[in-house]
Amino acid sequence: MFLGRVVGTLVATQKEPSLDGLKFLVVRRLSVANEDERGYVVAADAVGAGLGEVVMVATGSSARQTRQTDKRPCDAVIMAIVDSWEVDGQEKYNKGTSP
C-alpha cells in the first residue's frame, strides 16, 4: 500500500451505474518522511476519510476488496486512516500532533 494525504474531492454524475453513491477523493502521495510526492490518485473512500487526513491506499484488484468497491471499476481505495508511523525508531507522523 502507499501513504497519501486527502487533498480534494471529485464529482462525476455521468458514470458506470455501479459507482453510484461512491465518494471519490483526490489523494496526493506522501513519502515515508511524510513529505508530499509528485504523484496523485483518485481513490474511492471506504472508511469516511476527510480532507487533510493521512490515509493508506490499496490499488489494483485489491481495491475491490471492500463492501463499497466490490465488483466495481475501481482500482484505488482508501482502506485506512493512519494514526501514526515510525521509521528507524523515529515517529514520522502522528495524527494527534503532526501538521
The gap from C-alpha 48 to its chain's centroid, in whole angstroms, comes to 10
Tell whether the torsion through CA atoms of 18, 24, 29 and 30 is positive or negative.
negative
Q: With CB under 8 A as the rule, give the number of residues binding a copy of itself.
A: 56
Does 98 contact a copy of itself by CB under 8 A?
no
Does 23 contact a copy of itself by CB under 8 A?
no
d(CA 4, CA 2): 7
- In this structure, what C-alpha cell is assigned to residue 91? 515517529
User: What is the widest separation between alpha-carbon atoms in the chain?
Assistant: 47
Name residues contacting a copy of itself, limited to 41-70 (CB under 8 A): 41-43, 46-48, 56, 58-66, 69
Q: List contacts with a copy of itself (CB under 8 A).
A: 1-3, 7-16, 18-19, 24, 26, 28, 31-32, 40-43, 46-48, 56, 58-66, 69, 71-77, 79-88, 92
